[in-house]
Amino acid sequence: MSPKSRPSAGPAAQSSVKTGAQIIVDTLIEQGVDTMFGYTGGVVLPLFDRLYDAPINFIIPRHEQGGCHMADAYARASGKVGVMLATSGPGACNLVTGLATAMMDSTPMVAITGQVRTELIGNDAFQEADTTGVTRPVTKYNCIVKDVKDVARIFREAFYIASTGRQGPVLIDVPVDVEVAKFDTKNPVEMELPGYRVRTKGHARQISTAAKAINDSGQPVLYVGGGVISANAAEELRQLADKAHLPVTTTLLGLGSYDQNRPESLDMLGMHGAAYANYAVQECDLLIAVGARFDDRVTGKLKTFAPNAKIIHIDIDPASISKNVHVDIPVVGDAKFILPELIKEVEHRERKQWFKKIAEWKKKFPFSYDREASTIKPQYVIEELCRQTKGGAIITTGVGQNQMWAAQFYRFSRPRQLISSGGLGTMGFGLPAAIGAQVARPGETVIDIDGDHSFNMTMTELATAVENKLPIKVCILNNGYMGMVRQWQELFYNKRYSKSYLSNPDYATVARAMGAVGITVDKKADVPKAIKQMLAEKRPCVADFKIEREENVWPMVPAGKSLDEMSGLDILESIA
Ligand SMILES: Cc1ncc(C[n+]2csc(CCOP(=O)(O)OP(=O)(O)O)c2C)c(N)n1
Ligand SMILES: [Mg+2]
């Protein structure tokens, strides 16, 4: 039915007496929501009825997990709160992976779930699941609304909690009788969060202590995480690095917070990070962590992590301080406020010896691969993508080797440019994330660099991209294998490739069947023109690159080893 022929909402929409469903929609609009994702079902019908003519762009995924990843990526790409709506029971349960993904990567999201009637809760009613129980560990906060008078307050609180402090997903469960109950909304409502405190400004003395440590350091490293991007503090970070003259390494989620084309960039650190970043961290005398949480993929063996370094940790989340690594100078607060204060007190230092050492490591161990190979190397596909998009595309990824190669070989220069599941490592994130990012940033080129098996998990969402006319590009680095698992089996299980191979469909045919463009690329010489065609397509486009099947990601810090105990350096050195 066209919007013009829709039956009107009627005079009830004008009155201050409103249903819970109408209050929810009004609160969403008040919170600035103009786009949301959701899937219908019995107990959310009153809410969907109110959304019928609401001024909200509504995207329907093919599976609630996909919708949750879309809302997550929409938030990461836009800086706004992502909103996802699902029905009770199976719909709500399908959100769990998406919520856990958002939780681990601190994405601001509000998930709304319908629930069975209040009087039926606990009765094993049809499509009943204990949604707040199931999602408690994977949300920053969740609650069930039991009374219509609380709807507006709880929804405002949800947006506030999701988007302040260490951001994260909040879930509100709404029984269907609360959606239809009426309430007079003429009195204003206030949030009631007496126990929720957010520290924004850092402690002045701690900031001065940090500045002194930076000024005194001969071999510092700035170690930056996704928190700098969430805080919209990339510009302040650049100014700090510039003024104090600091080399900068980032985590996977921190990529884009600092322009990788700048000479001070050490690129990504950690398990598959740059050798020069890992060596610099191991040899530094001062590690300045900003919005990063010392994840095990970053630190390697904790006991020997940055053994000579004094550690400064700037973070909004007090619970992250000294959680994994002992911190000498903690500064709790928002990087957006703290970095300008720090900049005032730091001084320029030449650090000639230190930068010389770093330049030597960079020269000796760059990210590299066999450029002369006759097969399609995945790294070549990504380098060519980066070249043709001039490093300007928004990149989403699957999980596995594809994700690590994307991080190593695309050059990120601005925040919110890489959208990847870091903490949870969720295969199937890439395609729905590309959709969410493209919805958030309509004019930009959005490319999902995916693994074949990651793509298999949520490829049904290609239909969502087609339906919404989103010109996303999907580059499948198709090695047939669950490549990262195969790599571990090669290195640690004597090449016993147990259950890490599955046959795949012909992706170009799948894409065409869904109304997208499909391209198969099986010759190295065809890579540039296939990418050119893909970038020119107005419709969603899937390019299936049949890559070298047993390529490995180097370097690699084997689990439990120190950051400087990298494998594969001999390979990098020999082809550098
Ligand atoms: C949902 C989910 N299930 C299982 C895993 C474990 N896992 C990590 S990487 C990987 C293989 C990924 O294969 P593919 O998407 O083809 O990427 P490749 O490594 O080949 O680039 C698996 C199974 C995961 N990360 N997520
Ligand atoms: Mg694969």
The number of the ligand 1 atom at minimal distance from the alpha carbon of 455 is 15
Q: Examine the pLDDT at 2 and tell me if it is beyond 50.
A: no
Quote the ligand 1 centre to 213 CA distance (angstroms). Answer: 41
Which bound ligand lies closest to the C-alpha atom of 449?
A: 1
Is the CB of residue 394 below 6 angstroms from any atom belonging to ligand 1? Answer: no
Strands 310-315 and 329-332: parallel
Q: How confident is the model at residue 7 (pLDDT cuts 50, 70, 90)?
A: low
Q: Examine the pLDDT at 378 and tell me if it is beyond 90.
A: yes
Q: Please state which of the ranges 69-73, 167-171, 189-193, 511-515 shows the lowest mean pLDDT.
A: 189-193
What CATH number should be reported for the domain holding residue 456? 3.40.50.970
Q: Examine the pLDDT at 544 and tell me if it is beyond 90.
A: yes
370 found inside a domain: no
- Domain final residue, candidates 364, 390, 411: 364
Is the CB of residue 454 below 6 angstroms from any atom belonging to ligand 1? Answer: yes
Is residue 210 located within the same domain as residue 160?
no
Give the rounded percent of residues in the chain with a pLDDT score beyond 70.
Answer: 97
Is residue 347 located within the same domain as residue 235?
yes
Q: Examine the pLDDT at 391 and tell me if it is beyond 50.
A: yes
Note the pLDDT of residue 574. Answer: 83
Q: How many domains does the chain have?
A: 3
- Section 132-141 average pLDDT: 98
Quote the ligand 2 centre to 422 CA distance (angstroms). Answer: 18
Q: Examine the pLDDT at 3 and tell me if it is beyond 60.
A: no
Question: 526 CB contacts (<8 Å, ≥6 apart)?
Answer: none
Q: Residues, the chain, total?
A: 576
Residue 530 belongs to domain spanning: 378-554
Is the CB of residue 69 below 6 angstroms from any atom belonging to ligand 1? Answer: no
Is the CB of residue 306 below 6 angstroms from any atom belonging to ligand 1? Answer: no
| Cα first-last separation, the chain | 61
Quote the ligand 1 centre to 399 CA distance (angstroms). Answer: 5
Is residue 313 located within the same domain as residue 454?
no
560 found inside a domain: no
Let me know the angle formed at the C-alpha of 404 by 401 and 406, rounded to the nearest 5 degrees: 105
Q: How confident is the model at residue 1 (pLDDT cuts 50, 70, 90)?
A: very low
Is residue 526 located within the same domain as residue 406?
yes
Quote the ligand 1 centre to 427 CA distance (angstroms). Answer: 6
Quote the ligand 1 centre to 482 CA distance (angstroms). Answer: 6
pTM comes to: 0.97
Question: 206 CB contacts (<8 Å, ≥6 apart)?
Answer: 329, 330, 331
- Section 407-422 average pLDDT: 98
Note the pLDDT of residue 6. Answer: 55
52 found inside a domain: yes
Is residue 385 located within the same domain as residue 434?
yes
Q: Examine the pLDDT at 129 and tell me if it is beyond 70.
A: yes
561 found inside a domain: no
Quote the ligand 2 centre to 449 CA distance (angstroms). Answer: 11
Which bound ligand lies closest to the C-alpha atom of 488?
A: 1
What whole-number distance in Å separates Cα of residue 109 and Cα of residue 309?
36
Exposed/middle/buried for residue 411 (C-beta within 10 Å: 0-12, 13-18, 19+): buried
Give the pLDDT confidence of 322-369 residue by residue, as tens digits.
999 999 999 999 999 999 999 999 999 999 999 999 999 999 999 999
564 found inside a domain: no
Which bound ligand lies closest to the C-alpha atom of 552?
A: 1
Exposed/middle/buried for residue 535 (C-beta within 10 Å: 0-12, 13-18, 19+): middle
State the residue for tokens 């949604």.
131
Q: Give, using CA atoms, the residue closest to atom 9 of ligand 1.
A: 400
The number of the ligand 1 atom at minimal distance from the alpha carbon of 456 is 15
Is residue 307 located within the same domain as residue 223?
yes
Note the pLDDT of residue 457. Answer: 98
The number of the ligand 1 atom at minimal distance from the alpha carbon of 405 is 21
